[in-house]
Amino acid sequence: MQQRTIKRTVEMVGIGLHKGEPIRLRLEPMEVDSGIVFYREDIALSIPLAPDSVIDTRMATVIGNETGFVSTIEHFLSAVYAYGIDNLRVIVDGNEMPIMDGSAISFCLLLDEAGIVLQNAPKKVLKILDTIEIVKEDGKYVRLSPSRKAEFAFEIDFEHPVIGRQSYDFTFSTKNYIEEIARARTFGFAKDIQMLQSQNLALGANLQNAIGLDEHKVLNPEGLRFDNEFVRHKILDAIGDLMVTGYNILGRYEAFAGSHALNYQLTSALLADPSKYEMVTIETVGTEAFGFAYA
């Protein structure tokens, strides 16, 4: 299997979740072994995608440096992972990605519009060789372990009548991602949104780009897209956070009450310990199913 970029330049405009302002997003092809590079057009700043570029994980995954940053990259990167894209220039004219409908489906449609082209170099993936995990005292954890497939298992437990305890086990393929994960939206609680907006955050949040909940029910008139949309979105986030490594991962990801912060700690710990992973091409992985996942 070869490295991938897009066939043509494409763009879209959407609202930023926190500032509530229009953000123009443009995607451009890049050469072999270029990786994923974010570019702030308004301040002429390039930010390579890597755990070292992460500067904040409190409310979203944010990459940048002392000059500037790009926030809320995880939904977009989740779609990039799903399409197996290795080399891409991601251009925005503000400090966050557009939130679109709060899921990854709009980014999938944009990548469909751009088309995928195979490049003249083998695709590299991170193969997990040994289990690595981050465990917190309150029982929260994230874990990567060896597997012949790319798998994601997530469990959440919220004291809310609509959410409660949910779990989902997902075996990755591009087709499965689009059908099972891509449309799952981010969610928030009305009481938290009011507090955030008083701090000039989440100014773009509304029921068109998130699932809203009060103390008892879902506020969106259309309801949920899946009965367990909340845990499916957590998998969407996790896939995007793993893509911060710049590579697709061959292994099993598991989490209980995982978060952007825990995912960042996991990817950082992984790359800091060469005994836990191996950089391989799909042809040398020894499992045809993983290559077919991107068909």
Tell me the catalytic residues: 260
Q: What sign has the CA pseudo-torsion 35, 41, 46, 50?
A: negative
Rounded Cα distance, 236 and 6, in Å: 21
Rounded Cα distance, 72 and 207, in Å: 18
Rounded Cα distance, 102 and 263, in Å: 20
Rounded Cα distance, 25 and 27, in Å: 7
Three-state secondary-structure class, residue 271 = helix
Question: For residue 42, what is the DSSP state?
Answer: T
Pairing state between β 211-213 and 69-70: unpaired
Listed in order, strand segments (DSSP E) in the chain are: 2-6, 10-15, 22-29, 36-40, 45-48, 54-56, 62-64, 69-70, 88-92, 116-122, 124-128, 132-135, 141-145, 151-158, 164-171, 187-189, 211-213, 248-250, 252-256, 277-281
Contact 24, 92 (CB under 8 A): yes
